[in-house]
Structures are given as C-alpha cells and as structure tokens.
Structure 1
C-alpha cells in the first residue's frame, strides 16, 4: 500500500523555542534569534507538544521522490538554526604563503578584513562580513582568523568570500598556492563529547 504522506520529526532541545507561522520559522535560544522563510517548499511544518518534549514535524502529502527529498532539507535547515542559537558556528581561516607574507588587518568592530601584500601586490583587498558575522584574530595560531556567527549560511558565505578574494589568477595554481584557506569548521561554544 502506497503511503499518502511522508513525515520527519525534529526534537527541540531544552532552552530553545521554535515558532512556525505559515512556514516562516523563528528559532530563539541563548545566543540569539534566527528566522528562515521556507515557503518555497510545499510541505506542512507543525509544532507538536508532547510529554517527552516538543517536536517540529515536517509533512509532505502525495509527494513523489523529489518532493519528498525536501523533507530532509527543511529538517536540516531548522536543525542548523537550533545549533546556531545554542552553540554557534566558527570557521578557522588560515593565510598560506610562500614568499610574500600576507598581512590581514581586522577592523576595530570585527565586521571587515583588509588583506595586503598578497603575492607582493600593492593593492589592498577588502572583505566585508555578512550581517551577524564577526571576524577576529586567533591567539593560538599565527596567520589565522576566526569567522563566527549564528547563521551557518552567512558564516560559510563570509568564509568563502575570504577565500575567493585571494584566488590566484593568470598563473599556474600548482605553483602559486598562496591564499586564505579554511582549516577547520567547528562551533563557538565547545561541547564535551
């Protein structure tokens, strides 16, 4: 017998509140608040209150294979929002150079970065962090910066902008390996395993 609907559940941890208003999801936690519009996905998103705790239920009615695949995507998006408001996201970006040392100058507010002396060039490159994302110097490692925030999409986009601005053009990339690379993706609040 073919099922007329498919569903997935997501547990809501203690200290986190989730509100759903016509597929506009708002998650509040100790690190702040995140909102995401999931109206482009044709599915039901409901809050289910139970004795064992609250859940978010994602339901697709009469879905084919591709439509049902949206369930996992929506669940992962809300799960990333819950992780963001509880432990946050941190990308470690390291400057790698062979001959000319790359100078990274962080603005006083931690919202932008200036890159100088990349491959010996005189021009300065500026990278603006996305809204809600901060950048700071890593005290434990030389030539490394930490990109931190609550929204994984904005943190990863800011890290990608750092990498993209130092791509080597019109040279053999097997020889010219200089640039800023992501060395580790972790959380701001360290969780004991």
Structure 2
C-alpha cells in the first residue's frame, strides 16, 4: 500500500555544514569534506536550519525504507568528518608467518609468504584511506573519514587472503577485522 508522504530528519551538529543539491549530499567538518550521491533514489532532500529533511512521496514499502537508509548514510558521513573511522586487522596463520610491507605513503599493502606462497599480493587502498602498523605483533590499522571506503579497503585486504581449494574449517589463515572504532575517541 502506498503512503502519501514519508519523511525523516537528520540533526546537524555544531561545526558541520551540509548541502544537498540534486540529491548529492556534501558534508564538511573538522576532518574534511565527504560527498555522496543519492541520484539513483527518488527522494526529496532539503536543508532547513540545523536539520536535513529526507522525504518520499507516494512510496511503497521499499521506497519508504530508502528514507531511513539515506538518513543513516548521512549520519555516517557526519561521524566521518567529526571522528573518522579506524579498523584494526589481525593476521592469523598456523605455520607460515605472514609478512607485510606498507608502501607508497601508506596507500598500498604488500602481503608476502601467505600459506608459504611466493606470490606477492598487493592491495591498494581506496582514496582517502591509509594503512599503518600498530604497536602489536601481526596487526595493522586502516583509517579514513569515509566508512564506505575504510570498510571496503578492509574487505579488499581480507579478500586477497582467502584460502582457495582447501578445507576452510582447517585452513583458517587470513587477515581479519578484529576491532572497529573512531580515530578521535569521545572525551
């Protein structure tokens, strides 16, 4: 059943500037600027004072669900430009220790000796994302402002070390996300 109007608002905190033009949302904050396009959705977006209004007209269940999805995505953008995102990844191996090398200004990670293979896996980070070693053994930290970019970079690292043609219950080797958080911790 179609509803006449479904709407939801996102509160804009102090120090954050949001503009929504042609369903392209731009969020500017202390850590930088993030831009996300919602051109594929039939929604109205307007900035009124310190709120962003997202509205759907004559929508069925799926179209009404898009309103909440857009609001969640904008809230993630706001969190990204205020606190940033930080994911920690751990290396898991049974016999052959995994070696990594971070090159090109913390933008590319090279994974060596995975399962004893000579093949070097190179994973390039998405724009705006950096990777670095932490103080702990066999741990890296992937950080950036965009949640989508940071989580996709972690997925690319994890996907490069998937075990093929073996029993995955026995061969648990790989690089896995162990912790999620923010770069700027709340006081």
Choose from 117, 120, 123 the match for 2:116.
120
SS in 2 for 1:4: strand
Name the structure 2 match of 1:79: 75
- Are 1:68 and 2:64 matched, yes or no? yes
SS in 1 for 2:148: helix
- Are 1:110 and 2:106 matched, yes or no? yes
Choose from 91, 95, 98 the match for 2:91.
95
Name the structure 1 match of 2:38: 38
Cα distance, 1:55 vs structure 2:
0.4
Structure 1 vs Structure 2 CA RMSD: 1.1
Task: Give the ranges of 4+ consecutive aligned residues of structure 1 lying more than 2 Å apart after TM superposition.
Answer: none
Q: Distance in 2 between matches of 1:123 and 1:38?
A: 40
Q: How does 1:160-179 map to 2 (within 5 A)?
A: 160-179=155-174
Cα distance, 1:3 vs structure 2:
5.5
Choose from 51, 55, 60 the match for 1:59.
55
CA contact (8 A) 2:3 2:59 kept: no
Give the TM-score normalised by structure 2: 0.96
Name the structure 2 match of 1:23: 23
Name the structure 2 match of 1:130: 126
Q: Distance in 1 between matches of 2:179 and 2:186?
A: 16
Cα distance, 1:36 vs structure 2:
0.8
Q: Distance in 2 between matches of 1:121 and 1:151?
A: 33
Q: Distance in 2 between matches of 1:84 and 1:28?
A: 10
Q: Distance in 2 between matches of 1:143 and 1:122?
A: 19
Question: May I ask how many residue pairs the two structures share in their alignment?
Answer: 186
Consecutive unaligned residues in structure 1, runs of 5 or more: none
Q: Distance in 1 between matches of 2:25 and 2:107?
A: 27
- Are 1:153 and 2:153 matched, yes or no? no
Consecutive unaligned residues in structure 2, runs of 5 or more: none
Give the TM-score normalised by structure 1: 0.93
